[in-house]
Amino acid sequence: MNETMMIAGMALVTFSVRYVMFAMAGRIRFPLWFKQALGYVPPVVLSAIIAPLILMPEGDLDLSLANPYFWAGLVAAGVGFWRQHLLTTIVVGLVSFILIKWMVS
């Protein structure tokens, strides 16, 4: 019973927050500087998710040569800046991670 109430409450909160945004769409005008700042939100959030996974794979900061996550992340970042193509970055990052993990193991 408690789980059902908790799920229903979470669904209600989630729906309410999103409904308010849809209901207000088109009525609120944001300043230009705010719109430009919102463009930085996705990269910042993605960085906040990925950085701890790359730099702390075991829970502690690991910048050693034996950390394949760190080195594959550097390779992927380099390819991403160079090519600016998402699929290429993902494929090169995954392949480099597999190769580095194979060489370290």
What does the alpha-carbon distance between residue 70 and residue 64 come to, in Å, rounded to a whole number? 8
For residue 104, the model assigns a pLDDT of: 85
Q: What percent of the chain has pLDDT over 90?
A: 78
Q: What is the mean pLDDT of residues 58-87?
A: 93
Say what the pLDDT of residue 21 is: 81
Task: Identify whether the C-beta of residue 73 lies closer than 8 Å to the C-beta of residue 54.
Answer: yes
Compare 26 and 83 and report the one with higher pLDDT: 83
Task: List alpha helices for the chain, DSSP H.
Answer: 2-24, 32-38, 41-55, 68-83, 86-104
Averaged pLDDT, 34-46 = 94
pLDDT at 30 over 90: no
The tally of domains found in the chain comes to: 1
**What value does the mean pLDDT take over residues 63-91?**
94
pLDDT at 99: 96
CA distances from 88 to 17, 31, 43, 76 (A): 36, 35, 18, 9
What is the domain range of residue 53?
Answer: 2-104
Query: What average pLDDT does the segment 80-84 reach?
Result: 96
